[in-house]
Structure 1
Amino acid sequence: MPAAATAVDLTMRASNLFTVLGLWPSNISGSHPANCPSNITFDKNDLWPELRGRMSCEWRSFQGDNGALWGSQWRTHGACALPLFTNMTAYFRYTLALSERYDINEALVKGGINPLVARSMTPQQLGGILEQQWNVTPVVTCSNGNILEVRTCFSTRLKPIDCPANTGGASSCPSVAQALPFGSTKVPEACTAYFDNIPAGTNPAAVPAAGSRAAPPPGSNGLRRAAASVLLLVAAAAAAALPVL
């Protein structure tokens, strides 16, 4: 593919694809432990170069500082996942592996929706496609007329499970179509391979409100970043050995 065409596609992908926000340990009650004490401090240079490169594409900050996003997720949530994840690298590695195995963008394509060009959809439509593809019930959250997050729940064996009813999100989403937010930061051309299962074209009949987007209005906070994939690690009675992913 010519470099110019690749750059255009990646700009669109940076705008429209779901990206990882983090893996949040979660109690059965629905609460999320946060800011747990740990003697492991975050330094992105401690991550394997190959892992850091993948994260730069798939766990990308749309506010411009990947390290700040990753460090915040580790301090706020990752440290609370110890000792299930024995170290910081394991936390990021397993989070990325789960996001890739249960890829929202690819699930939408299989369900007849191309996230590159779809401008809106109902939360029920989005959740229904994911439930059909994964055979578990996720949670979709909304804010100010936008789909904000998709929360996918996992057991401490890292197996997908139905999200508990008190996971949150349903009350924030109406039953009418919501916008799919988009960011304004270009993804490096080297990230093309991570998005190669998302077709550039689409069948307009299969995508509601399909087409290119206008730029968001200045100061429109709800449209500055791509919608996020949140992975919830729901606590069980006892932690088990992690599977090989």
Structure 2
Amino acid sequence: MNSTYSFFVKLVLVQCLVIACASQVYDFFYLVQQWPGSYCDTSQGCCYPTTGKPATNFSIHGLWPNYDNGSYPSNCDSNDPFDLSEISDLQSKMQVSWPSLSCPSSDDTSFWSHEWNKHGTCSESVLTEHAYFQAVLNLKSKANVLQTLKNAGIQPNGGFYSLTSIKSAIKGGLGYNSWIECNTDTSGNYQLYQIYLCVDYYGSSFIECPVLPTGYCASSIKFPTF
């Protein structure tokens, strides 16, 4: 094997490795927001954070990297754990937009830590910890889901609304399709629990979802009060 050919083969192998590694990062994000009334209206119940009852609004669950084939990476870098000091300037906004409702009551930081360690570290080649949390706050602000639903006459008043009308309202208001996750209340009624919107690779703009999660919702679902 002459030196020129050997160099060419090595170059091709390096390029293939780079492409393979790059393809393993992620393809897009799910921005997941949850309705606190549905989180709390289950047999498990909820606990308000130590800062008090959260706002009557959809709150952030997370920004989750995903692959176009429906799978997703997780816990990508144990060497870059959550550091609260990195987002000290965002903390007050996050307490409003990203509260923890799990029990026992907490100051929310364990929730944020879990989201960064499991999901955020998989996007750190594009978004630092601060950039990741700032991106989520920006996206939530862009997607004012509650107001979008209210504009279509869909209110969190304990009433039942068709799943189709909810999806249509979000599509009409935001310009993109969504995926709705339901849970069940203490009486077994399906209710509006989480709304998934898809976000581009850079965590900056909404896109049409390359693939949707799976799960079941009834054709008519409850939108509980909070």
The TM tier, using the shorter chain, reads: 0.5 to 0.7
SS in 2 for 1:167: coil
Residue 90 of structure 1: which of 121, 127, 131 is its match? 131
How far the C-alpha of 1:41 sits from its partner, in A, is: 1.6
Of 154, 174, 180, the residue aligned with 2:223 is 180
Distance 1:112 1:13 in 2: 23
Matched, 1:112 2:156: no
Aligned to 1:52: 91
What percent of counterpart residues are identical? 25
Q: Distance in 2 between matches of 1:58 and 1:36?
A: 25
Which whole-Å CA distance do the structure 2 matches of 1:12 and 1:73 have between them?
A: 21
Give 1:15-54 correspondences, 5 Å limit: 16-49=56-89, 51-54=90-93
Which amino acid letter does the alignment assign opposite residue 197 of structure 2? Answer: T
Give distance in 1, aligned partners of 2:100 and 2:166.
23
Tell me: CA distance 1:13–1:70, structure 2 relative to 1, closer, same or farther (3 Å): closer
Q: Does 1:143 align with 2:183?
A: yes
Residues 119, 17 of structure 1: alpha-carbon distance in 2 compared, 3 angstrom cutoff: farther
Conserved? CA contact 1:33–1:77, under 8 Å = yes
Matched AA of 1:180: F
Matching residue of 2:165: 125
Supply the distance in 2 between the matched residues of 1:59 and 1:97 (Cα, whole angstroms).
Answer: 12
Structure 2 gaps, min length 5: 1-51, 185-189
Measured in 1, the distance between the counterparts of 2:53 and 2:161 equals 18
User: Unpaired runs of 5+ in structure 1?
Assistant: 1-10, 182-212, 214-225, 227-245
Q: Which structure 2 residues correspond to residues 226-241 of structure 1 after superposition, within 5 A? A: none
Question: Contact (CA 8 Å) 1:143, 1:172: kept in 2 or not?
Answer: no
Whose relative contact order is higher, 1 or 2, with alpha carbons under 8 Å and at least 6 apart?
1
* Contact 1:146-1:180 within 8 A present in 2 as well: yes
What is the distance in 2 between the residues matched to 1:13 and 1:118?
A: 18
Distance 2:54 2:154 in 1: 14
Alpha-carbon deviations, 1:168-216, whole Å to 9, x = none? 14x411212x2235xxxxxxxxxxxxxxxxxxxxxxxxxxxxxxx5xxx
CA RMSD of aligned residues (A): 2.2
Contact 2:120 2:129 in 1 (8 A): yes
Work out the CA distance in 1 between the residues paired with 2:73 and 2:182: 22
Contact 2:181 2:216 in 1 (8 A): yes
Contact between 2:155 and 2:223, CA under 8 Å: does it hold in 1? Answer: no
Larger radius of gyration: 2
Q: Deviations over 1:106-162 (max 9, x none)?
A: 2112223334x3544232221110000111111111123122210000111422112
SS at match of 2:112: helix
Q: CA deviation at 1:43?
A: 2.6
Partner SS, residue 172 of structure 1: coil
Q: Return the TM-score normalized by structure 1.
A: 0.61
| Cross-structure match for 2:22 | none
What is the number of residues matched between the two proteins?
Answer: 166
Q: Could you tell me how far 1:38 is from its partner in structure 2?
A: 4.2
